[in-house]
Amino acid sequence: MMETSPSKVESWCGWQREASACTTDDIMLVGSMLDDKDNSVKIQALNTLKAFSGIRKFRLKIQEHSIKVLELISTIWDSELHIASLRLLNNLPLPDFAHPQLRRVMPALMEILQSNYILAQVPQDHGPGLAHLTSPRTASRGKRKDLCLLCSGLDSPAFSHFTISFIQVQAIRLLSSLAQKNDLLYDILNCQVHSNFLNLFQATQPGSLLFEVLLFAERLSEGRNTPHYRAVKWHYNEKSLHEALFGDESRLADRLLALVIHPEEEVQIQACKVIVSLQCPQDMQVRPSFCQASHSYFNGE
């Protein structure tokens, strides 16, 4: 376990005390900056909301901005903004009232997952502490507002460059979480994907991304095999995620078998879990020996 230096702990505790003195009005003021024309101001506001989302008394107020954050993801194609938005959403329980907007944003999330970012520029982490959020337009009018708000927390990136996999991991984590919502499962499965979607399951992908992609596949497989979901006859688009993963022409099985011998153990284990979930629907009770045999095989028993 990595040790945390006393100075960092003291700094973080000091920030927590100062942050607790802030009010929901401060949160609303930061949220209003999501409408600023300058993307850098939006990103700074998103990072601030992410930091404050760890304080319980502010979560409900921050959730009120989830619709706007989802709108930013789908309307602005900017890697820094995508990172800040996705990290915030992944740190919040998304309210039910955001589900209609989530359905509209599904295609954008799927594009981010499959996008070919080369390098995403991320603001340098300045560590915990108070910071000023100032709109360039406001500053030019001499009306700068000092906010008792944090721009980045201890868990913010400590380096300025990320490869594509970091953005993809954030996108897949959000999709994986949404896949556990019964009323969103079909929308995810019917979302259109590129013909090379299964490239995300290639052994050459970073282990952290592979693990998240496999976890996503497992949750989708389990969700579509529940009695509740199977009670409806669903129709999927030809190029849907469902067809890419579970269709008759899918090559997912080949990719999974290749990952069973992946050098990273957590990837191996997760690949086996997906294989078992594909073979054993949750309500399958007539063939328990088959499921048990499959499970034993992939665990080397």
pLDDT digits (tens, 9 = 90+) for 149-196: 333 333 444 333 344 788 999 999 999 999 999 999 999 999 999 999
CA–CA gap between residue 43 and residue 274 (Å, rounded): 36
CA–CA gap between residue 31 and residue 65 (Å, rounded): 7
For residue 215, the model assigns a pLDDT of 98
- Say which residue, 18 or 34, is predicted with more confidence: 34
- Say which residue, 123 or 99, is predicted with more confidence: 99
For residue 171, the model assigns a pLDDT of 96
pLDDT category at 10 given cuts 50, 70, 90 is very low
Kindly state the tokens that stand for 253: 């099985």
pLDDT category at 301 given cuts 50, 70, 90 is very low
Residue 135 clears pLDDT 50, i.e. is over it:
no
Among residues 227, 45, 47, which one has the least CA distance to residue 153? Answer: 47
Among residues 266, 252, 122, which one has the least CA distance to residue 206? Answer: 266
For 87-90, the CB contacts below 8 A with 24+ separation are 87/46, 87/50, 87/170, 88/46, 88/47, 88/49, 88/50, 88/53, 88/62, 89/174, 90/170, 90/173, 90/174, 90/177
Residue 1 makes CB contacts below 8 A (sequence gap 6+) with none
Average pLDDT of the residues of the chain = 78
Q: Give whole-number Cα distances, 219 to 48, 63, 199, 226, in Å.
A: 31, 25, 19, 11
Query: Which pTM does this prediction carry?
Result: 0.76
pLDDT per residue as tens digits for the range 17-27:
666 778 889 89
Kindly state the tokens that stand for 169: 């991991």
Domain boundaries of the chain, sorted by first residue: 1-104+118-163, 179-301
Of 30-44, 129-143, 218-232, least confident by mean pLDDT is 129-143
